[in-house]
Structure 1
Amino acid sequence: MSKITFACQQCGTVKTIYENKNQSFKYCSRRCYQLSRNAVYGGKVEIVCKYCGVTKLVPHKEVLNGKHKYCSIRCANLDQNKIPPQESNHTCYYNGIKFRSKGEVRYAEWCDAIGLKWEYEPNVFKLPHCNYIPDFYLTDFDKWVEIKCDINDKEHKTREFMKTHSLDVLFRKDINKIRSGLDYGWKN
């Protein structure tokens, strides 16, 4: 193998190394290469997410390698249809409203299908030890509805709210009945 002598473009150090076809002879070390790239690109470059349009600073090397077209893995998956937008990240959208679960979306769809007027999380109620936001308010019935697909830490809030307000609690089985088209009877 033959040797080659070159001057580093970053620090000016003269170095003699064995010639390698796959190696570029511009920098004496990885550190000089990175310093040079940072000087050219400022270390990071601004990209615009291909899916949501958000701008984000990312390392220039990843942009040059074609790795960064999105602001997050979630946006990449959504753009490539790996996860449906309505069911991603526990957040669901229906008629432009952001819901916290698929069960709430199914209930809203059902209310619309049978002509019930509803509002999603219209009020925050101050309870003795916390705040509580019921999921739905049915304006025609002056009734609150809470969707409970899973037992969680909101259970005590629900019980506290029920002491002073008319509240129906629907569980997963009720949502499944609604989804399958069975009639749900309201208690007066």
Structure 2
Amino acid sequence: MDLHKGIRKVPYIKIVCHNPICRKEFELPPHQVKRRKFCCVSCSIQVIGRLTTSPKASKGKPGIRADIDPNICFYSTWEANVARVFNFLKIKWVYAPKVFDLGKHTYRPDFYLPQEDKYIEVKNFMGIYSLERDRLFRLKFPKVKLEVLSKLEYNEIEANYKPFIDGWEN
């Protein structure tokens, strides 16, 4: 619970767990409602039942960036900066809208660009886990367009757009 001197800073929203066995009602801050569907990890595992996040998932800088969208909690500064570039270029985007079932893993690309019908993944490092997940995704969903922005490409984007975008994060 987000408490500040005993008072919630943000009004929470009641939702129902998506596990059909549980269906427990629980509360979330608004920025988590789109992304979180289960009341606990065990309910998530019962329904999804697979590895859902990268082993490096704890190393990002998650948070709401009010200059982008007060209802989205970005995983990293890179994702937030890419969203700022999309906004600057007036490119329509949706943040992490779909989870793809890869069998052994699940995969949720960072962005979807509806006008191009393309997913974008922002990736600093392609470790064994990420490479395997990327390979499985391309095998299982060959018609789905996915572009991976690597560190090299991100650095190029940063060099080109950082001077023009307020709120750019380092």
Q: TM-score range by the shorter chain?
A: 0.5 to 0.7
AA matched with 2:4: C
Percentage of pairs with the same residue:
29
Partner of 2:101: 126
Distance 2:108 2:119 in 1: 10
**Alignment partner of 1:98 out of 73, 79, 99:** 73
Would the aligned equivalents of 1:92 and 1:105 in 2 still touch at CA under 8 Å?
no
Unaligned segments of structure 2, at least 5 residues: 10-58, 162-170
Tell me if structure 1 keeps the 8 A contact 2:60–2:76. Answer: no
Counterpart in the other structure of 2:145 = 166
CA distance in 1, matches of 2:100, 2:130: 13
Larger Rg: 1
1:103–1:172 CA contact under 8 A, matched in 2: no
Aligned ranges for residues 17-166 of structure 1 at < 5 Å? 49-50=4-5, 53=8, 90-94=61-65, 95-96=69-70, 97-152=72-127, 153-163=129-139, 164=142, 165-166=144-145
> Could you tell me which amino acid in structure 1 is paired with residue 61 of structure 2?
H
Q: Could you tell me how far apart the structure 2 residues matched to 1:123 and 1:169 are?
A: 16
Taking structure 1 as the reference length, what is the TM-score of the superposition?
0.48
Structure 1 residues 50 and 106, CA, compared in 2 at 3 Å: closer, same or farther?
same
- Distance in 2, matches of 1:173 and 1:181, equals 13
Instruction: State TM-score, norm by structure 2.
Output: 0.53
Q: 1:51 offset after TM fit, Å?
A: 9.8
Give the Cα–Cα distance (whole angstroms) in 2 for the partners of residues 98 and 142 of structure 1.
23
How far is 1:156 from its partner?
1.3
How far apart, CA to CA, are the structure 2 residues paired with 1:138 and 1:151?
22
Distance 1:92 1:180 in 2: 24
Q: What are the ranges of 5 or more consecutive residues in structure 1 without an aligned counterpart?
A: 1-47, 55-87, 183-188
Residues 90, 101 of structure 1: 8 Å contact kept: yes
Partner of 1:45: none
